[in-house]
Amino acid sequence: MFYRSTRGNSRPVSAAEAVKTGIAPDGGLYVPGSRVAVTAGEVAAMSGMTYGQRAVKILGLFLTDFTMEEIADCVDGAYGHGKFDALEVAPLHRLDDHLYVLELWHGPTCAFKDMALQMLPRLLPRAAAKTGEDKEIAILVATSGDTGKAALEGFKDVPGTRIIVFYPARGVSAVQERQMVTQEGGNVHVVAVEGNFDQTQSGVKEIFADPAVNEAIGRRGYRFSSANSINWGRLVPQIVYYFSAYGDLLSRGEVEPGERVNFVVPTGNFGNILAAYYARQMGLPVHRLICAANRNNVLTDFIRTGVYDRTREFYRTISPSMDILISSNLERLLYEMTGRDADRVRDWMAALREEGRYRVDEEVLDGIQAVFWSDYAGDRQTMETIRDTYRRYGYLLDTHTAVGKYVYDRYREATGDGHKTVLASTASPFKFNRSVAAAILGEQAVAGQGEFALLRILSEATGLPVPRGLKDLEQKPVRHTLTVAPGEMKRAVLEILA
């Protein structure tokens, strides 16, 4: 199978090429060039499988130039060997008769990014080898917190790769910084930048685009690549857990074969919910996809009106991983919803770049509304949802997942829809512990407490263990101490890859 660019001006490429390059030369995103379908029988068979078996099955349908042995190897490396602190990898927790929580945060960094960033590092070197690449892959990442750590854990000691993560020196939380500077592994480098996230990200983009740097590292046997969320190799592992959730519902007798379910997804860059859309297109019995946004509700407005308008105020919220005004992966949905009309997609993306907004046609909007529904939660509603859910069910939600729960409740009120529904839970409550502790214990209980103390306080109050990835962080030795000015990032890369 070949992959096409959503902007239509690049030649079709193999899956390996799409994974290696990440983005198409015309600036578009790669999408599967032909329809991938599963039969009702294949969906039913998922119920008897482990997570790893489900992953091999789904990945094999998309990565057609990888052998099944290679895929099984990648899956084993990503999800086997106790990498995840739950045997099921992505366990499904039943809240009540209607609602189930799909816990996607049992990986090493306690957020759902691990689901994809444990897999991509294993696919990349193999993709490079298949496309005749003889150089080692050097991954550059600029992070505002979560992605950097997940990428470090994913690429740690993966043969044929090196990873350099840049983070803004005063732009990440104490826990996030500790997670990164204590990172182990022989091929990992972590560098603090004396600047903000925008400067850090611009610095990385400049290095990627600098021909002299590319040539210099090429002579030393390296080639840059990115672990960015628009890479198809990050999207396809996310399709797996929607099938996995359905397999678990079937095996527990919670749904009949063929019975349709809803998925609620706390959304930022539109990657996670897009994976659910592809699962639906493949034949997974899905009724509605409910897109939950925070106060940066650009997607809610889009799904309601067909107008995407990023010219609005940007808010910092207590669900920071969803504080996004340009949802890159939406481009793939537009391509599918227009019947794969790259001309229209190109026009809209040009309008977004130049005017900050675009409006889709009526029939495209109808198509989107037939599948998607959206609402958003403010910070106060998010806090109340964490408290109410804990009181009512004894179940602790993180701030992002709480946005999803709030929006699901609005959906039930607005539509009366009684289909069983799965809420994608994107982070451990311990990862965003200050807000979570304040929600259930009150502001006084957290005032003046440091983040490490709050881990203990939250654990003692709830009886839940602090997750492995966050425990003992304070005691771990610091291994990375390099700090550079934004103008010195290039030199740092050249010295690291000497």
Site residues for ligand PLP per CB under 6 A: 111-113, 146, 266-272, 321-322, 400, 426-427
| Tokens linked to 325 | 């005004």
Identify which of residues 147 and 187 has a Cβ nearer to ligand PLP in the complex.
147
Shortest CB 482 distance to ligand PLP, Å: 26
CB 393 within 8 A of CB 351: no
Identify which of residues 326 and 485 has a Cβ nearer to ligand PLP in the complex.
326
| Tokens linked to 257 | 């074969």
Cα 426 to Cα 109: distance, rounded to the nearest angstrom: 11
> Which residue in the list 20, 57, 113, 149 is annotated as catalytic?
113
* CA neighbor of 362 nearest in space, from 323, 411, 319, 305: 305
Identify which of residues 275 and 473 has a Cβ nearer to ligand PLP in the complex.
275
Amino acid at 25: P
Write the CB contacts of 430 (distance below 8 Å, at least 6 apart in sequence): 110, 436, 455, 458, 459, 464, 466, 467, 470
How far from chain centre, in Å, is Cα 172?
Answer: 18
139's enclosing H/E stretch is strand 136-142
Sign of CA dihedral 474, 480, 484, 487: negative
Cα 307 to Cα 298: distance, rounded to the nearest angstrom: 9
Shortest CB 493 distance to ligand PLP, Å: 25
Q: Which ranges in 97-139 belong to alpha helices (H)?
A: 113-117, 120-130
Identify which of residues 324 and 454 has a Cβ nearer to ligand PLP in the complex.
324
113 carries an active-site annotation: yes
Identify which of residues 200 and 328 has a Cβ nearer to ligand PLP in the complex.
328
Cα 250 to Cα 45: distance, rounded to the nearest angstrom: 10
Shortest CB 105 distance to ligand PLP, Å: 8
CB 215 within 8 A of CB 162: no
Q: Which residues are catalytic?
A: 113
